[in-house]
Amino acid sequence: MLGIDPGLTRCGVGVVDVASDRSARLVHVGVVRSDPGEPIERRLATIAAGIRAVIDEHAPAVVAVERVFSQHNRQSVMGTAQASGIALLIAGERGLAAATHTPTEVKAAVTGYGAADKRQVQLMVARILRLDEIPQPADAADALALALCHAWRGGGQAATTGAQLTPAQRAWADAERLARR
Amino acid sequence: MLGIDPGLTRCGVGVVDVASDRSARLVHVGVVRSDPGEPIERRLATIAAGIRAVIDEHAPAVVAVERVFSQHNRQSVMGTAQASGIALLIAGERGLAAATHTPTEVKAAVTGYGAADKRQVQLMVARILRLDEIPQPADAADALALALCHAWRGGGQAATTGAQLTPAQRAWADAERLARR
C-alpha cells in the first residue's frame, strides 16, 4: 500500500505492508522534493519521477492519495492539487488501483477520532508501525497514515476503483456507482 | 504553439502556427474527453494520452496552459487543477517550455480588453485564424486563444521557462527570477 501526501515542495510517500490481521509493517518512507526556484513543469516532472521510482522499487498494489479541497484559499492549494493529479495519473498509467481519502477519514482511521491533531496522528503512526521515532518530515508521516487508512478501510482487499478488480468486482463497483447517481 | 484549456471532462487543445509578423494559422483544434463514470486515475490517464498524441503529431515548441484559481469554490476546480498539472507535467517530461496565463491575460491579448466575454474572445479567435465558424466546443476555442495569447506575449521567441532556452537565456531568466524575490 502506497500512501501519498501530495505537495509540490514536499510530497510525502509511505509504503506499508498490512496483514489480514491489520498489523502493519513499514516498508519505505520518504519525501520527494522539488525546487521552488524551478519552473512548474520541471517541478511536476521531478515529483512524477520520484513517485515512479518508489513504485518501481516497492511495487505497491494500491495508491492512496490525500484528497485536496479548494476551500483552503491559498496559492499552494493549486500546486497540491496538481501534485495529487500527478500521483493519480501515475497510478492510472501503471494500472494500479487508486483512492483518495480526506484528512478527516485518515485521522479517524488511524486514531479513532476524526478531529485528532497532526501530532496525535503521527504518534499513532509510529506506534502502529513500532517505530522508535515519528517519521520526519510531517509529510512523510502523513503519507504513512494515508496508506494505513486505506488498508484498514478495506482498500487492500476490495478497492472500489482501478484495474486490480476482477471482472465480477468491477461489475459490482459499476452497478454501485450507477445506483449512487 | 500548443494551448491547453485544462479540464477533466473536456480538455481543450489548440495548436497554432504564429509568424514573426504575428499572423497566425490554425494547425489543430480539438477536445480530449474523459468519461465522468470512470475512476479519476483512469480519467487523468486518458487526458494525458490525448495531450501526448497532439504533441506527437504536431511537435509544438511551447505549451501554454490556462492558470487555475482556487477562488472558484466548486468541486470541478480540483479536477481542472489536476488536469492542468498533467498538461504541465507532459510539457516538462518532453522538455518543452511551458507557461500559464490567466483568463484575463488571454482575453486582453486576443480582444484588447481583459473583461471581454467568452463570445467576444471566440469571435476574435475565429477572425484571427480566418475560420468560417467558431471552433466548437468552447473549450477548443479557449485553447486556441491561449496559444495566441502566449505567442503574442513573446512566448514564441523568448519563453522565460523551460528546456528550450539557450544557456545564456537560462542564466538571464534565472537572474531575473532571483531579482524578483
DSSP string of B62-77, one letter each residue: EEEEEPP-TTS-SHHH
Helix, strand, coil content of chain B in percent (nearest 5) = 50, 20, 30
Residue A165: which pLDDT band, with cuts at 50, 70 and 90?
very low
Look up residue A149 and give its three cell numbers: 487508512
DSSP string, B57-112: HH--SEEEEEPP-TTS-SHHHHHHHHHHHHHHHHHHHHT-EEEEE-HHHHHHHHHS
Residue A139 annotated among the catalytic residues of the structure: yes
Look up residue A141 and give its three cell numbers: 508521516
Look up residue A131 and give its three cell numbers: 517505530
Q: Does A95 touch chain B (CB under 8 A)?
A: no
Which residue among the candidates A57, A139, A142, A174 is catalytic per the annotation?
Answer: A139
Q: What is the pLDDT of residue A130?
A: 95
Q: What is the CATH number of the domain that holds B20?
A: 3.30.420.10
Residue A21 annotated among the catalytic residues of the structure: no
Check B88 against A41: CB less than 8 A apart: yes
Of B71, B86, B163, the CB nearest to A89: B86
Mean pLDDT of B118-143: 92
Strand pairing category for A10-18 and B2-5: unpaired
- Residue among B89, B96, B101 with most chain A CBs within 10 A, to mutate: B89
- Listed range (A19-33, A95-109, A158-172, B98-112) with the worst mean pLDDT: A158-172
Which residue among the candidates B38, B139, B174, B176 is catalytic per the annotation?
Answer: B139
Rounded to the nearest angstrom, the minimum Cα separation between B78 and chain A is: 6
CB of B89 within 8 A of CB of A89?
A: yes
Helix, strand, coil content of chain A in percent (nearest 5) = 50, 20, 30
Parent domain of B6: 2-180
Total domains in chain B come to 1
Neighbours of A100 (CB within 10 A): 22
Please give the C-alpha separations between residue B18 and each of A2, A20, B21, B128, B140, in angstroms, as whole numbers.
Answer: 45, 60, 8, 11, 18
Beta strand ranges found along chain A (DSSP E): 2-5, 10-18, 24-33, 62-66, 97-101
Of B44, B68, B174, the CB nearest to A92: B44
* Strand ranges of the sheet holding B97-101, from the earlier edge strand across to the other edge: B24-33, B10-18, B2-5, B62-66, B97-101
Alpha-carbon gap, residue A151 to A125, rounded angstroms: 13
User: What one-character DSSP code corresponds to residue A87?
Assistant: H
Mean pLDDT of A142-168: 67
pLDDT per residue over A48-69, tens digit each?
999 999 999 999 999 999 998 7
Q: What is the pLDDT of residue A75?
A: 67
pLDDT per residue over A104-120, tens digit each?
999 999 998 888 998 99
pLDDT per residue over B157-177, tens digit each?
444 444 444 445 455 555 555
* Strand ranges of the sheet holding A10-18, from the earlier edge strand across to the other edge: A24-33, A10-18, A2-5, A62-66, A97-101
Nearest to B156 by CA among B148, B144, B145: B148
Those of residues 151-170 in A touching chain B at CB distance below 8 A are 161-163
Kindly tell me if the per-residue pLDDT of B24 is higher than 90: yes
Is ipTM strictly over 0.95? no
